Amino acid sequence: MAGGGEVEVKPIDKEAFNLGFIGAGNLAASVAIGLVNQGILPPSRIFTAHRNPESRLDFTSVGIQVYKNNHQVAEECDVIIFSVKPQILKEVILDLRPLLSQNKLLVSLAVGHKLKALQEWAGHCRFVRVIPSTASVIGEAATVMHLGEAATVNDSELIADLFGAVGKVWKMDEKLSDAAAAIGGAGTAFAYVAIEAMADGGVVAGLPREICLSLASQAFYGAAAMVMKTGKHPGQLKDQVASPGGTTIAGIHELEKGAFRASMMNAVVATTKRSHEMVMHLGEAATVNDSELIADLFGAVGKVWKMDEKLSDAAAAIGGAGTAFAYVAIEAMADGGVAAGLPRKISLSLASQAFYGAAAMVMKTGKHPGQLKDQVASPGGTTIAGIHELEKGAFRASMMNAVVATTKRSHEMGQ
């Protein structure tokens, strides 16, 4: 096998290279559409293949060419991204091996499979592993990247630039890969479950579903942005929101009674474990104007929802206390990463970006978090193993209890 530095490789021309996706599924579509939307690559330089015309629509709708077979993509492209399921990755690479010269830069998006195996299957080591998420479509993925032995500095820059345009990229040692993917990839699905559960709590407390979902997404989005932008620990930010005997701490008490943190940590650890296993087996304003003025003022520092005052306690339980619940969730996800072997700093920044990206996906796509979660959780995969842990731990019930308890405490305090 041609290894690191033994063979002179042709540099990839950054202004002219063609990018191919082998596996035209959810993740490939998110990354490809994200790249086109961010103006990084024109659709005329992106290719993929799928036999089914219906599965081509996501790509063709933005002008990406979809061939009928993988061979055409491999022949046409200089940078080839493998985005098929881990279970079939080996056979797909082996089938294309005669076309995969060392002048082509290869990239795998699959969880689980290590560079050593990928390089063996391809017959050379100019390979990069990247694990993004479907939040790439809106430019908010939490992405992990590992370099193969023969990937050049230019290769590394090119891939970091591509994926940096559709999210944040962390380059790290491959031994941290499974745990990092459990946060950056699967973690977005855990965040969707948390957002949905917080919204459900609001519905129990009497808020209309639509308001609940937007408030809950904004609470997670704002909390994740606070962690990233202030650099403060989520525990510290949570303490700032939870005053003695107040409404927020009543909700947090419910989270802790329900072992909410343990469920989240279990989810991250179970997802990491499943990655290993898969590879092993394979106040009312006076006038309308005042109201608008206040809405404008507060809109400058966040989003504002106008509503009947009778909904106020439940809405505050999400929009206000909800940020504290989000801090607890972010901290717990980061703790899960540490339990799975990730350094604390990386774990916390990945977890914040995972929540930020997931909340932004709910707000920007207008899709239901359950639907977005389903797109990430494939049958028998790593993400669903983590979600199973959340459900076993009654994670949703804890979040709903937290919103209801906070609303109740608000009523009590108002009396």
Ligand X SMILES: NC(=O)c1ccc[n+]([C@@H]2O[C@H](COP(=O)([O-])OP(=O)(O)OC[C@H]3O[C@@H](n4cnc5c(N)ncnc54)[C@H](OP(=O)(O)O)[C@@H]3O)[C@@H](O)[C@H]2O)c1
Q: How far is the CB of 133 from ligand X (least distance, A)?
A: 5
Does 55 bind ligand X (CB under 6 A)? Our answer is: yes
Helix (H, G, I), strand (E, B) or coil at 207: coil
Helix (H, G, I), strand (E, B) or coil at 376: helix
Q: Which of residues 254 and 389 has its CB atom nearest to ligand X in the complex?
A: 389
Does 312 bind ligand X (CB under 6 A)? Our answer is: no
Please state the length of the chain. 415
Query: According to DSSP H, which parts of 300-343 are helical?
Result: 312-319, 321-339
Q: Which of residues 85 and 233 has its CB atom nearest to ligand X in the complex?
A: 85
Tokens encoding 356: 């930020």
Q: Which of residues 92 and 262 has its CB atom nearest to ligand X in the complex?
A: 92
Does 25 bind ligand X (CB under 6 A)? Our answer is: yes
Q: Which residue has the tokens 């430019």?
A: 139
Does 84 bind ligand X (CB under 6 A)? Our answer is: yes
Q: Which of residues 2 and 279 has its CB atom nearest to ligand X in the complex?
A: 279
Does 90 bind ligand X (CB under 6 A)? Our answer is: no
Helix (H, G, I), strand (E, B) or coil at 146: strand
Q: How far apart are CA 108 and CA 52, in angstroms?
A: 23
Q: How far is the CB of 113 from ligand X (least distance, A)?
A: 8
Does 110 bind ligand X (CB under 6 A)? Our answer is: yes
Restricted to residues 183-202, the positions that interact with ligand X (CB under 6 A) are 185
Q: How far is the CB of 378 from ligand X (least distance, A)?
A: 5
Q: Please identify which residue in 71, 85, 233, 367 interacts with ligand X, judged by CB under 6 A.
A: 85
Tokens encoding 8: 């002179």
Q: Which of residues 167 and 320 has its CB atom nearest to ligand X in the complex?
A: 167
Categorise residue 386: left if φ over 0, alpha if ψ from -120 to 50, beta otherwise. alpha
Taking alpha carbons only, the member of 113, 129, 121 closest to residue 93 is 121
Q: Which of residues 193 and 328 has its CB atom nearest to ligand X in the complex?
A: 193
Binding region for ligand X (CB under 6 A) out of 79-87, 200-208, 299-307, 345-353? 79-87
Does 24 bind ligand X (CB under 6 A)? Our answer is: yes
Q: Please identify which residue in 125, 376, 400, 402 interacts with ligand X, judged by CB under 6 A.
A: 376
Tokens encoding 381: 């995969």
- Using Cβ positions, the residue closest to ligand X within the complex turns out to be 25
Does 23 bind ligand X (CB under 6 A)? Our answer is: yes
Q: Which of residues 85 and 367 has its CB atom nearest to ligand X in the complex?
A: 85
Q: How far is the CB of 189 from ligand X (least distance, A)?
A: 7
Q: How far is the CB of 27 from ligand X (least distance, A)?
A: 3
Helix (H, G, I), strand (E, B) or coil at 67: strand
Bridge partners for 174 per DSSP: none
Q: Please identify which residue in 338, 378, 391, 394 interacts with ligand X, judged by CB under 6 A.
A: 378
Does 114 bind ligand X (CB under 6 A)? Our answer is: no
Q: How far is the CB of 226 from ligand X (least distance, A)?
A: 25
Q: How far apart are CA 69 and CA 343, in angstroms?
A: 41
Tokens encoding 59: 């790509």
Q: Please identify which residue in 22, 268, 328, 346 interacts with ligand X, judged by CB under 6 A.
A: 22
What number of chain residues touch ligand X (CB under 6 A)? 26
Restricted to residues 128-147, the positions that interact with ligand X (CB under 6 A) are 131, 133-134
Tokens encoding 324: 């504290």
Q: Please identify which residue in 81, 109, 354, 358 interacts with ligand X, judged by CB under 6 A.
A: 109
Query: According to DSSP H, which parts of 169-259 are helical?
Result: 177-184, 186-204, 209-230, 234-241, 247-257
Binding region for ligand X (CB under 6 A) out of 17-25, 261-269, 294-302, 388-396? 17-25
Does 111 bind ligand X (CB under 6 A)? Our answer is: yes
CB 398 within 8 A of CB 264: no
Q: Please identify which residue in 86, 322, 386, 393 interacts with ligand X, judged by CB under 6 A.
A: 86
Taking alpha carbons only, the member of 141, 166, 133 closest to residue 35 is 166
In terms of DSSP bridges, do strands 79-82 and 65-67 run parallel, antiparallel, or are they unpaired? unpaired
- Give the contacts of 166 (CB within 8 A, at least 6 positions apart): 30, 31, 34, 35, 38, 40, 132, 136, 137, 139, 141, 143
Amino acid at site 166 = V
Q: How far apart are CA 106 and CA 126, in angstroms?
A: 6
Binding site for ligand X (CB under 6 A): 22-28, 50, 52, 55, 70, 83-86, 88, 92, 109-111, 131, 133-134, 185, 376, 378
